[in-house]
């Protein structure tokens, strides 16, 4: 039976500006449910609150109003069961690849044998076994992001939140990592919530797409991606959905 992972109930978020005289509303009445093993993409114009919502879901930031339930319990702080992957890789430059992947595992005080088994597993998954002793600065951007993803998954989180993890990569590397991420997701069956600016990326990856409005960070539309995997960009349904989403973006950009 499919279980509900997140229940987001009327989340609001605002920030003080101008020395507290005014408040900037970033999110308004966000309500959303996310199911176990779902791959959900959140898209929308710049400044619509996508990253803020993700940080609230991670427990790194508190909402101004409303609540988030994680497995039916209120989420108010970070938990080891929710992993986060940022756009800037956030690797430790003084650690090599295998030590970066093992960073969270060391806090669990596992045996050296068990720790090595887990690191080896994810080095194999991301295809970087030959680079285990390399430093981050010796890797390409795509390779660094693979290490960041492996580090998050190695901790065996229930959920992985990803904030535009491929946004700074070139087009070819981005497509390769999209394929890599889907391969990892299909193998480990984690629940993934993925923020992106790219309509194409959302269609390629998601089971469901949430489109957010630029005004007050509300949910504008929810779309189920009913295209079989592995998805081909040449598929007419793919092109139709791409056009539909681009038209919705046009509507959003014309909103005042």
* 181-223 pLDDT tens trace: 898 888 878 899 999 989 999 999 999 999 998 777 889 999 9
DSSP E strands, the chain: 4-17, 22-35, 39-43, 65-70, 73-74, 82-85, 159-163, 191-195, 208-212, 219-224
User: Whole-model pTM?
Assistant: 0.89
Q: What is the mean pLDDT of residues 99-103?
A: 93
Instruction: Output phi, psi for 17, to 5 deg.
Output: -135, 160
Q: Looking at the domain assignment, is residue 215 inside a domain? A: no
CB 198 within 8 A of CB 164: no
Instruction: Work out the mean pLDDT of the chain and round it to a whole number.
Output: 89
Q: Which tokens is 113 given?
A: 């044998």
Q: Looking at the domain assignment, is residue 53 inside a domain? A: no
- Give the contacts of 29 (CB within 8 A, at least 6 positions apart): 10, 11, 12, 66, 218
CA distance to 146, 172, 220, per residue, from 34 (Å): 25, 30, 17
Q: Which domain holds residue 132?
A: 91-156
Q: Looking at the domain assignment, is residue 138 inside a domain? A: yes
- If one counts the domains in the chain, the total is 1
Residue 38: pLDDT band (50, 70, 90) is: very high
- Give the contacts of 37 (CB within 8 A, at least 6 positions apart): 2, 189, 190, 191
Q: Looking at the domain assignment, is residue 69 inside a domain? A: no
Q: Looking at the domain assignment, is residue 132 inside a domain? A: yes
Q: Looking at the domain assignment, is residue 137 inside a domain? A: yes
Q: Looking at the domain assignment, is residue 40 inside a domain? A: no
Calpha distance 111→60 (Å, rounded): 29
Instruction: Please return the burial class of 253, using the count of CB atoms within 10 Å of its CB with bins 0-12, 13-18 and 19+.
Output: exposed
């Amino acid at each position: 039976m499919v279980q509900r992972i997140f229940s987001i109930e009327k989340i609001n978020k605002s920030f003080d500006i101008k020395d507290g005289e005014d408040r900037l509303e970033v999110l308004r009445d966000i309500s959303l449910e996310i199911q176990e093993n779902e791959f959900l993409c959140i898209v929308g114009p710049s400044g619509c609150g996508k990253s803020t919502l993700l940080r609230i879901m991670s427990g790194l930031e508190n909402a101004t109003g409303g609540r988030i339930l994680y497995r039916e319990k209120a989420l108010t702080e970070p938990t080891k069961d929710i992993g986060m992957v940022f756009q800037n890789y956030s690797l430790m430059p003084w650690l090599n690849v295998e030590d970066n992947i093992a960073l969270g595992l060391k806090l669990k005080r596992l045996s050296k044998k068990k720790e090595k088994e887990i690191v080896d597993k994810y080095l194999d998954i991301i295809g970087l076994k030959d680079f285990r002793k390399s430093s981050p600065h010796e890797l390409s951007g795509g390779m660094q992001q693979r290490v960041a993803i492996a580090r998050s998954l190695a901790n065996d989180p229930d959920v992985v939140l990803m904030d535009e993890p491929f946004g700074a990569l070139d087009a070819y590397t981005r497509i390769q990592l999209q394929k890599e991420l889907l391969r990892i997701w299909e193998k480990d069956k984690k629940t993934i919530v993925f923020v992106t600016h790219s309509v194409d990326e959302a269609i390629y990856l998601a089971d469901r797409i949430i489109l957010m409005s630029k005004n007050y960070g509300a949910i504008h539309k929810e779309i189920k991606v009913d295209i079989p995997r592995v998805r081909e960009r040449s598929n007419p349904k793919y092109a139709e959905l791409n056009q539909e989403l681009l038209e919705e973006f046009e509507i959003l950009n014309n909103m005042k």
